[in-house]
Structure 1
Amino acid sequence: MKRRIIIFTGPSLSHAEASEILRADYRPPVRRGDVTDALSDSPDIIGIIDGVFHQSPAVGHREIIEALQSGVTVVGGASMGALRASELSELGMIGVGRVFRAYLSGEIESDDDVAVAFDPETLEPLSDSLVSMDYNFRRALRKGLISREDYKRLITTAKNLFYPLRNYRRVLNDSEMEEGKKDALSEFIKGEGVDIKREDALEVIGYIRKLLRG
């Protein structure tokens, strides 16, 4: 029997790219009431990757719990999905990915760590997530491109920016660092930067695909 899958994604992983990996009903970032509405379509699996944080009410815990209690498998990761999965894992929501584990362990706690602005029409991200920035700045630190003090300045600058304004160019421009280090870090981000949320979104899709294979 063919199982019905509904996945909420957008800025972390486009519908077009996700569709190349798994055929599903892809919907925009989840908001309050969307999971309840999805239940009327009798899904077998709901994947939550992206969701709204501040533009409108976020997806509620109760509606996810309702889905779980009705027998729907709910998988989350990358962004809002990671946050809700960390909060509801004991009730049966499945969390996957680096961001989920960071929320679950308490390494990160705020929704600001994963929040990004996105185009409401194309769903493309318009800013960079703090969680990805932190990951890449730590990699640059390990490679010796920046010092520990540089890292602290970069993260402080990034955290002090309102999330829609947060991007690598702005953070590097506003941070007190040697220009040579800024140039080296900028090249590193362009050539080797990793989007943690995108990687985790792919892991969510892959996990659901494995579920379907049994």
Structure 2
Amino acid sequence: MKNEKKIIIFTGLSISHEEASKILDADYRDPVRREDILKAIEDSPDVIGIIDGVFHQYPAVGHKEIIKAIEKGIIVIGGGSMGALRASELDNLGMIGIGYVYEEYAKGNIDSDDDVAVVFDPSTKEALSEALVNVNYKLKEAVKKGILNINEKNELEVIAKSIYYPNRTYTRILKESNLDDSKKDKLRDFLVNTMNIKKQDSIALLQYIKNLK
């Protein structure tokens, strides 16, 4: 059923437009950059959802343009990636934050754009590196599953943090670790086959908007 609200969603990395459209009928646009919210305001949406955004390739989405949208009565919701960061900074001004990544920013457990930043193929939107927040989330899950112990998790987190974000991949992290080969293989399978938290948060954001009255 077509949603009666006019909804604009900025994503493409954490979740593809095709997959997102199966959850929520909306106007899907590429990861947000500076002034994209101002352009979106001109289309008079009821809701703007910010999931993905650019960080270093172009100027990032500005706080003032998000505030302007809120002041115009547009519901602005963020989660997953850039949206989570901006929501943690603007939730006291009316922006709504959704999901684990937003909560991590809001609690101060993470505090920089590097935690969610990735590089991607501009034509396919395929991520070519892994976000630190995903790495850390999956490593915690690996401990719960008994694949890693706490010391191993901590070592891997330090390695991941030390790698510049465009080069941060699971292959690189495991290569620099002291884990034995059998544990590396088991962990690699787990990491590859576990849905990343940015995508989980993206789905939660879309479902939240879908349920808005």
The two structures have a TM-score, normalised by structure 1, of 0.95
Query: AA paired with 2:95?
Result: M
How many equivalent pairs are there?
Answer: 211
- Whole-Å Cα distance in 2 between the matches of residues 163 and 172 of structure 1? 15
Compute the displacement of 1:61 (Å): 0.3
One of 13, 31, 39 as aligned partner of 1:37: 39
Separation in 2, partners of 1:140, 1:35: 38
- Letter of the 1:89 counterpart: D
1:132 aligns with 134
Structure 1 runs of 4+ aligned residues shifted over 4 Å read none
| Partner-residue secondary structure (3-state), 1:21 | coil
Write out per-residue CA displacement over residues 2-51 of structure 1, whole angstroms, 9 at most, x where no aligned residue: 32111000110100011111111100000000001111111111000000
What CA distance in whole angstroms lies between the structure 1 residues aligned with 2:166 and 2:29?
A: 22
Q: Which AA in structure 1 matches 2:87?
A: A
Choose from 144, 147, 152 the match for 2:146.
144
The yes-or-no answer on 1:91 pairing with 2:54 is no
Query: 2:205 maps to which residue?
Result: 204
Amino acid at match of 2:112: S
Amino acid at match of 1:144: G
How much has 1:114 moved relative to structure 2?
A: 0.7
**Paired amino acid for 1:87:** E
Paired residue for 1:12, among 11, 14, 17?
A: 14
- In structure 1, C-alpha distance between the alignment counterparts of 2:198 and 2:43, rounded to whole Å: 28
2:141 partner letter: R
- Give RMSD over aligned pairs: 1.3
Matches of 2:126 and 2:28, distance apart in 1: 15
Unaligned 5+ segments in structure 2 are: none
Counterparts of 2:192 and 2:91 in 1: how far apart (Å)?
A: 35
2:25 alignment counterpart: 23
Which residue identity lines up with residue 79 of structure 1 in the other structure? S
Of the structure 1 ranges 117-126 and 28-37, higher mean CA displacement relative to structure 2 is found in 117-126
Return the offset for 1:120: 1.0
- Post-superposition shift, 1:155? 0.8
| Partner residue, 2:178 | 176
Aligned with residue 161 of structure 1, among 145, 160, 163:
163
Secondary structure of the corresponding residue to residue 43 of structure 1: coil
**5+ residue gaps, structure 1:** none
Instruction: Output one character per residue of 1:96-148: Cα deviation in whole Å (capped at 9) or x when no partner.
Output: 00100110011111111111111111212111111111111112123332222
- Give, in whole Å, the separation in 2 of the partners of 1:115 and 1:163: 7
Counterpart code for 2:23: I
Match of 1:194 in 2: 195
1:95 match: secondary structure: strand
1:161 to partner: Cα distance? 1.0
Task: Please report how far the alpha carbon of residue 194 of structure 1 lies from its aligned counterpart in structure 2 after TM superposition.
Answer: 2.7
Stretch deviating more after TM superposition (197-206 or 143-152): 143-152
Offset from partner CA, 1:144-186 (integer Å, 9 cap, x none): 3222221122111111111111111111011122222212211
